[in-house]
Every structure is written in structure tokens, then in C-alpha cells.
Structure 1
Amino acid sequence: MDQIIITFIGATVALIIGCITGYYVRQSLAKKRAGSLEAKLVKKVQQTKEETTELLKTSETKAAQIIEAAQKEIDQRRREFLKAQQVLLDREKLLETKIAGFDKKEVELEEKVEKLKTVKENLEALRQEAETKLEKVASLSREDAKKELLVLVEKDSEKDILERIKKLEQSGQDALAVKAREIVTLAIQKCAINHTLELSTTTIHLASEDIKGRIIGKEGRNIKTFEKITGVEVLIDDTPDSVVISCFNPVRRQIATMALNKLIQDGRIQPAKIEEKVEEAKQEISKVIKDAGEKTLYDMNILGVQDKLVQILGRLYYRTSYGQNVLQHSMEVALIAETIAEEIGANAPIAKRAGLFHDIGKALDQQMEGSHIEIGIKILEKFGEKEEIIHAMRAHHGDYPVDSVEGAIVIVADSISASRPGARKDSIENYLQRLKALEDIANKFEGIDRAYAIQAGREIRVFVKADKVDDLAVQKMARQIAANIEEELKYPGEIKVTVIRENRVVEYAR
């Protein structure tokens, strides 16, 4: 029994010693592991610091480069600004010199007028003195003395007076002519509008001849669909790697050009894709028109124009008159009118705004009845433009009386812009007017969807609404359109009238 107790006690003591020993061993191992982790952490921190330092150095280098580039650009802009400022100062000095010269001439003219008045007064005094002496010496009656005196004075002074009056009149005319030339010259110097001649065709270059076949399509299906949707004529001839889009309407021609470029880039040319790309081009051209209107107002520094009027103004970018771009012509008229108004002391903002909007009616003259002046008046009234501006713009073709100085200025500015050499091409405008007249004749008939003049006016294609015009009426309409063309227009050769009726039904299987 004692032996068992002793054994138990010994085992217990051994167990306790083992537990204590195990505890210290575990503590030792834990400290070693902690030391290892701490070393790794220190190493990682050190590595991170080095990477951060390197990144900071790189960032500082890039920042220094950016600052240096920005400083160079600022210096360049400053030099350009100083140069422009110097040019402005030089022009201002030149203008001041001219004004001073004119003022000097005006003073000289006034002095000459005063001298002439003095001469007249002296002559009158001499006449009275001579009359008195004649009555005393010759015992002449008052009437006889008067006759003698008039004959004497007339002989002695007529030539001198006439010469003086002629010199004064010529001096005044010369001064006015010089001033007028200065005003017009200054107006033209301030006007820096780029002008381009708009043609009725656009050439599209192709990467290879194979694309022509894809544009034409099987049995001409693609090209017929394209011409029908866009209202243009696609000319494909032996000219290598190119096709020509012909249309007198610049907007339709631009839409067709953009759509065809999209189709060529996409590679899939088929009727469904043609409709899709034409619709995309119409949306893009609408944005281009709005951007053109906004840019014009920004360049002209004109504010307070409603968005819809901005859109209408932008349409002039694709409108020509006698070959002259109407939007560029309107900007030119606005600048010239502003300069003339400033020189003669008229209302320059009114003159400039009226000059810019004087042809606004041409943006919608193909969609509304009436002259472009009447249409322009309606547009400006609708969008809340002031009466002064409407009165100033409506008289530029003589349809309305000129009831303000600004109206006369707009007439002069319009004439200057239109009459300069090379500004307009009469033959192109007449050609475009003939094509428009063809379309107008067709559009008069009821049930017409749209009409396009193609082949340089040798053919007109008319699309009718299938739900309003049946097949029998199509034949009758073609004959009536041809008869009206023969009656209303003069033209060489013959004009082909093609009336197209299409009935399209679309259903979806779901």
C-alpha cells in the first residue's frame, strides 16, 4: 500500500514537472515565432518605405515635367496675346490718325465756309456803298443805280465766287468720299469670314473596286434603296476607286455621304442596314446643324437666342445662294453692319443682329410658302426678337420701306457682301432653282410623300403614300405632273417623270 502511494506521488510530481517543462518550452517557441514575425514585419515596412520613396521621386519628376510644359504653354500664349495686343494697338493708332486727319479736314472746311460768308458780307457792304456813291455822283435813280451796281459786281465777282463755291463743294465731296472709303475699308478689314463654294456633287473615295459591286447590290437592289431613302443620285462610272453623290439639296447630300461612308466602314451593305445608317446620319446632321448655329452665335458674341432659332440658324450652313454659303454670308453682313453702325453712331448691336438674321427665312423657304423675307419675319416674331431687329432686316430687298438707320445699314452691308468679286455664282443658283421648281411642281399634288429631282434635272422621282393613292391614280398622276412641267417650265430635251408607290407591311414573330 505504501509502495502504491509512493508510486502515485512520484508520478504526480513527474507530471507536474513535465507540465512546467512543457509550458516553458511552449513559451520559448512562441517567443521565437514572434521574433520571426516581427522581423518580417520590419522588413516589409522597410520595403514599403523604399517603394513609397521611389514613387514620390517619380511623381515629383512627372509633376516637374507637367509644370514645365504648362509654363511653356503659358509663355507661348502670353507671347501670342502680346503680339495680338500690339496688332490691335497699331490698328487703333492708325484709326486715330485717320480720325484726326478727318477732323482736321472738317475744321478746314468749316474755316473755308466762314471765309465764304465773310466774302459775301463784304460784297454786300461794297454793293451798298457803290449804290450810294452812284446815286450821289450820277444822280441816278435807285433802280438805275441798282442795275449798274449789279452788272459791275457780277462782272468782277462772278468768276471768283463760282470758283470758291466749286472748291468748297469739291472739298466737301472729297472729304465725304474719303470718310465713306474709310468706313467700308474698316468694315472689310474687320470681316474675316472663310468662304467656300458649294457644289452639287460629293466624291467618295473607295478602298477597292469591289466595294462598287456591293454598293450596287444584286440586280441594283442596294443602290435603288439608297437613292430612294436619301433622295440623291449615286453615280458609279469608270472612275477608279470612287463614287459620286449628286443632289442639289446640301443637307440630303451630306446625309447620303455620311450614311454611305458608314455602310462602307461597316461592310454590310443591304436594305435594312441602309435604313439604319441613313437614320444615324440624320441624327448626326441634326447635331452638326445645332453646333453650327451655336458656334456662329459664339463667334458673333450674340446672346439671348432661343434654342429652336439656333437650330434654324444652323440650317443656313447647308444653304447656298448664288453659290455663296448663306450662313457665312450672314456672318459677313453682321460684321460689316456692326462696323458701319459704330462709325456713324447708329445702334451697332441692333445692326449686327439684324444682319445675322436678315436671310434666316432661307433656312425654311423650301418647307414654307412665301418669300424668304416673309418667312424670316414670321420666324423672328415667333421666337421673340425685337421689333427694331425685324424692321431692320425686312427691308434689305426693297419689299418694305426703310424706316430706320439700321435697316439702311443692313442693305449696304448685304450689298457689300454680295457684290464683292467671286462671292456669288449666278449659273449655279439658277440651276438649283430649276431643280427646286421641279420638286415644287410634284409636291403640289395630294398624296405625295416626297419628290427628288435627279440626273441634273432630267428626271424627277415622286414617292406617293400607298394608303392615299392607288395604282390607277399613279399613272394619272405621272401624266399630270409631266403636263404641269411642260406648262410651267422651260427646259431643253425631255424630263423623265417616275412615280413610285410602295406598300410595305411589317410583322414581328415572337
Structure 2
Amino acid sequence: MEIVTAIILCVLTFAIGAAVSGFICFKQGINHRMKTAEAAIGSAEQEAEKIVDEAKKNAESLKKEALVEAKDEIYKARQESEKEIKDRRAEVSRQERRISQKEENVDKKLDNLEKKEETLQQKLKAADEKVEEADRIKKSQLDMLEKISEFTVEQAKEYLLSSLDTELIHDKAVKIAAYEAQIKEECEAKARQYISLAISRCAADQVSETAVSVVALPGDEMKGRIIGREGRNIRTIETLTGVDLIIDDTPEAITLSCYDQVRREIARIALEKLIQDGRIHPTRIEEMVDKARREVEYKIKQEGERAVLETNVHGLNHELVKLLGRLRFRTSYKQNVLDHSIEVAHLAGMMASELGVDANLARRAGLLHDIGKALSYEIEGSHVQIGVDVCKKYKESPEVLHAIEAHHGDVEIRTVVAALVQAADAISAARPGARSENYENYIKRLQKLEEICTSYDGVEKSYAIQAGREVRIMISPEKINDEKMTLVAREIAKRIEEEMDYPGQIKINLIRESRVVEYAK
């Protein structure tokens, strides 16, 4: 225990001794540092005094230099301002001189204007005096003329105008007649040239078809098989096709009668297939009629496509192509309508080319002009209106619709294409052998033509010649003069167009002859 205590005391003694020695050393260091710092502060104060002296010297020199520069700037600014003031005073003086010159010029112009105005007033006054003098002279001359002619002013005007009107009417009539004759000759010559050229370049076959078809038989015993037991076979054929079978004493032949050539063609093909097959009974008849109907439909489509290719008309709706093919089995006045439509398309296209009109449009309108006849058995109405409705349904152009509507003169022609289609239709119908009429209708048409012509006062006689395509009318010279003949011819032509139906056109010739008879005794 005593040892521990002794050790602790030793340690404490050592620590205290170390602390005292450290404190003594620290105090000595502080004193040394203080001495060093005091020496440094003394040297710094001396240096600072030197720097302050130098700064004061520099500031004085800079102040002097700044004062010198400021004086120089003030001098320069004063010189520039004086120069600017001097320039402005010179400019102001120039402006004043210019303004004064302008004022002088304006004063001179005002003086000139006043002088001119005075001169003008004098001239106007003189002109008014001259006008008054002219009015007095005119009035005196008119009074003198009225006294001499015994006419008032209004009467004289009326007399002069009536005389002038009479002279002008005569001159106008002469010139109009001359121009009409010249234009008519030129147009007629060109029309004949174009039409004859189109006709010569387009030659079409004219076929005559009847309302019956004849089917050849291998033998007369086939007639009985076609009739069948109690007539069931023939009844089946007639019911399915809508065609009348005429079985008479004609050897080895059966006649098919029907107004619809499509039905007649279906019945003919079916009957020929049945005869070739040999098995004739109602079931087989139904099969053959169906096959024949499909063949005819295919043939209709082929005919329509052939017509389109032959006329070079593209872009037609496929339904219109089918309707064109149906025209192969349609006749008008025994003229095949499809051949007629193709011919009209060619003629219209050729004439359009000669005239510089759209030939494609003319061919299209010519090909479709009778399209309504393909449906005339199924839809009520004229083939013209049916054709217009059908083409309108399939988005044909207004020019084509108008040509279809006007090709028989139902509406007034408004386009060149419509006129060409109408002319081509008349040409095709007027070809020799194209159409046929019975004798009775022909005689009635000629009689009606002569009756219309002789119904006018002043017509002595009328003669229908050239198969009704020309009429010659003898005029009484005492009742109708030369000027009135033109009016009578137009009235007759208009009445013929309104009251008669005829192919082509009718030429109207009016003949007026004056005779003087005297006898020598």
C-alpha cells in the first residue's frame, strides 16, 4: 500500500515538474515573438509612410493631367458646337431663300391663272352669244321651211322616216335573200359533200327479216314426236319459250312464230337440239330450253361487244353492252336495229371528223340512239324516252342524252352531234332496201302529203314524186307573189313535220309561172 502511494506521489511530482517547465518555456517564446512583431510593425509603418507619400505624388500628377485633358475636350466640344450652329444658320438661310423663291413663283402663277380665267370667261360669253345667234338662225330657217313645204317639224320627220323605212325594207329584203341564197348554196354543197363521203365510206348490208323462223326436220315422223302424247310436248315448248309452233302440211319443216326474236331464237335452238338428241319429253325440253337461253344470252353479249369494238366506242356500262346485243334480235321496218345503230355510228363519226367535231362522241351517240328499242317490248313508252332514261341511269353524258332525245325531232336540236346523229339516222333508214312499207301505208302517206300542200290558198296543184321524198307545188301567180312564196314554203314544211311521219326528208318545190296569151287575127 505504501509502495503504491509512493508511486502515485512520484508520478504527480513528475507531472507538476513538467508543467512548470513547459509554462516557463511558453512564456519565453511569447516574449520572443512579441519582440519580433514589434520590430516588424515598425518597419511596416515606415513602408506605409513611403507608399502614402508616393500615392500623394501620383495623385497630384494625375489630377494635373486630367485637368489638362478636360480643358482640351471642352475646347473641342465648343468648336464643334460653334461649327454646327454655323452650318444650321447657313441651311436656314438657304431654306428661307428657297421659300421666298417659291412664294414668288406662286404669286406669278396666281396672276397667270387670274388672267386665263378672265380670258375664259370672255370666250364663254362669246360662245353663248354665238349659240344664241345659231338658235335664232335655225328657228328662222325652220319657220321658212315650214312656210315653203307647208309641213310642221313633226310631219316632216314622220314623212322622212316613212320614206326611209320603205327604202330600207326593200334593200334589207334583197340583201337577206341574197345572203340566204349564198349561205344555202354553200351549206348545201358542203353538206352533200360530207354526206356523200360518209355514205361512200360506209357500206352496210341491208337484210330483210320476217316474224317467223323455219326449223328443218329429218322426216315428217318427227312432227308427231314434237307434238307428243296429247300434245304435251308442243305445249311445254310453247309455255317455256312463249313461241307459237305451227305444224302444217309443209313437208319436213316446222314454223316458229313470235314477235320477239329473242324468244324465237331460243325456241329454234332448243328445238334443233331436241331433234338432234332425239329424246323429246317435257323434262328434256326444259333442259334444252335452259341451254338455249344461256346460248342466246352469251350470243347477245358477244354481239354487244362486237358492236362496241366495231364502232371503237369504249367505256360503256356492261348493261348497255348487253342491251346493244339484244338489238341483234330486234327489227324496225324489217331493218336490223343493231346493224342500223352501227351504221349510224359510223356515218355520224365520219361526218363529225369532216366538220372538226368530236368523232368519238358522235359515234357513241349514234350507237346508243336506238338503245330504247331493246326494252320497248318490256317498258311502256316511246323508244326515245326509254333510251334516254336507260342511258341516264348508267351515267351517260348530257350530249349523248340530248342526241338520243332529238334524233326523231321530239325536241329542238341544240348541238352539232345531235344534228349529225339525226342526219345519219335518216341516211341509214333511206338506203334502198333498208326499210319496207306495205302498199296501203305508202299510198296513204302520199295522199296526205298532197292534201297538206293543196290546202293552202293560192296552190293550184301538188304532185308527190320520188316515192314521197319530193313534192312539186303549182302556185297561182295572181294570189301569191315571189316574196310570199318563201313564207308559204316554210309553213308547208313546218306542217308536214308536225303532221306526218316519214323517213329521211321531203323536198318542197314551189313553182310560180306567169303567162300572157294574145291572138293575132
Q: Give the TM-score normalised by structure 2.
A: 0.49
What is the deviation of 1:345? 2.1
What is the deviation of 1:360? 0.6
Segments of structure 1 that go 5 or more residues without pairing to the other structure are 1-153, 155-161, 431-510
What is the deviation of 1:401? 2.4
What is the deviation of 1:192? 2.5
Distance in 1, Cα, partners of 2:331 & 2:177: 48
State the percentage of identical aligned residues.
49
> What is the aligned partner in structure 2 of residue 75 from structure 1?
none
Give the partner amino acid of 1:180.
Answer: A
Give the partner amino acid of 1:353.
Answer: R
Would you say 1:252 and 2:263 are equivalent positions?
Answer: yes
> What is the aligned partner in structure 2 of residue 6 from structure 1?
none
Counterpart secondary structure, 1:328: helix
What is the deviation of 1:172? 6.1
> Is 2:207–2:434's contact at 8 Å kept on the other side of the alignment?
no
When residues 427 and 281 of structure 1 are mapped into structure 2, their CA distance, relative to the original with a 3 A threshold, is farther
When residues 386 and 174 of structure 1 are mapped into structure 2, their CA distance, relative to the original with a 3 A threshold, is closer
When residues 389 and 205 of structure 1 are mapped into structure 2, their CA distance, relative to the original with a 3 A threshold, is same
Cα deviation code 1:102-161 (max 9, x no counterpart): xxxxxxxxxxxxxxxxxxxxxxxxxxxxxxxxxxxxxxxxxxxxxxxxxxxx9xxxxxxx
Cα deviation code 1:376-415 (max 9, x no counterpart): 1121122121122112221112222222111111111111
What is the deviation of 1:215? 0.8
Counterpart secondary structure, 2:272: helix
When residues 422 and 195 of structure 1 are mapped into structure 2, their CA distance, relative to the original with a 3 A threshold, is closer
> What is the aligned partner in structure 2 of residue 351 from structure 1?
362
> What is the aligned partner in structure 2 of residue 399 from structure 1?
410
When residues 405 and 176 of structure 1 are mapped into structure 2, their CA distance, relative to the original with a 3 A threshold, is closer
Q: Give the TM-score normalised by structure 1.
A: 0.50
Distance in 1, Cα, partners of 2:261 & 2:176: 58
Distance in 2, Cα, partners of 1:213 & 1:321: 36
Output aligned runs, 1:361-400, within 5 Å.
361-400=372-411
Distance in 1, Cα, partners of 2:185 & 2:394: 45
Distance in 2, Cα, partners of 1:311 & 1:165: 51
Equivalent of 2:239 in 211, 219, 228 = 228
> Is 1:323–1:426's contact at 8 Å kept on the other side of the alignment?
no
When residues 383 and 166 of structure 1 are mapped into structure 2, their CA distance, relative to the original with a 3 A threshold, is closer
Give the partner amino acid of 2:335.
Answer: Q
Give the partner amino acid of 1:177.
Answer: E
Distance in 2, Cα, partners of 1:333 & 1:256: 31
Segments of structure 2 that go 5 or more residues without pairing to the other structure are 1-166, 168-173, 442-521
Would you say 1:333 and 2:350 are equivalent positions?
Answer: no
Would you say 1:201 and 2:216 are equivalent positions?
Answer: no
Distance in 1, Cα, partners of 2:186 & 2:331: 38
Give the partner amino acid of 2:396.
Answer: E
Distance in 2, Cα, partners of 1:404 & 1:237: 55
Would you say 1:301 and 2:312 are equivalent positions?
Answer: yes
When residues 228 and 374 of structure 1 are mapped into structure 2, their CA distance, relative to the original with a 3 A threshold, is same
Counterpart secondary structure, 1:197: coil
Counterpart secondary structure, 1:421: coil
Distance in 2, Cα, partners of 1:166 & 1:404: 26
> Is 1:230–1:256's contact at 8 Å kept on the other side of the alignment?
yes
Counterpart secondary structure, 2:256: strand
Structure having greater relative contact order (Cα 8 Å, sep ≥ 6): 1
Distance in 2, Cα, partners of 1:230 & 1:396: 34
What is the deviation of 1:357? 0.3
> Is 1:322–1:427's contact at 8 Å kept on the other side of the alignment?
no
Cα deviation code 1:246-296 (max 9, x no counterpart): 111101110000000000011001111111111111111000000000000
Give the partner amino acid of 2:358.
Answer: N
> What is the aligned partner in structure 1 of residue 484 from structure 2?
none
Cα deviation code 1:320-368 (max 9, x no counterpart): 1111111111111111111121222222211111111011111112222
Equivalent of 2:436 in 425, 433, 447 = 425
> Is 2:300–2:326's contact at 8 Å kept on the other side of the alignment?
yes
Distance in 2, Cα, partners of 1:194 & 1:218: 44
Give the partner amino acid of 2:346.
Answer: L
> Is 1:324–1:424's contact at 8 Å kept on the other side of the alignment?
yes
What is the deviation of 1:168? 9.2
Output aligned runs, 1:65-464, within 5 Å.
173-427=184-438
- Superposed CA RMSD in Å reads 3.1
What is the deviation of 1:239? 1.7
Distance in 2, Cα, partners of 1:175 & 1:227: 59
Give the partner amino acid of 1:311.
Answer: K
> Is 2:342–2:366's contact at 8 Å kept on the other side of the alignment?
yes
Distance in 2, Cα, partners of 1:188 & 1:328: 15
What is the deviation of 1:173? 4.9
Counterpart secondary structure, 1:207: coil
Counterpart secondary structure, 1:366: coil
When residues 381 and 170 of structure 1 are mapped into structure 2, their CA distance, relative to the original with a 3 A threshold, is closer
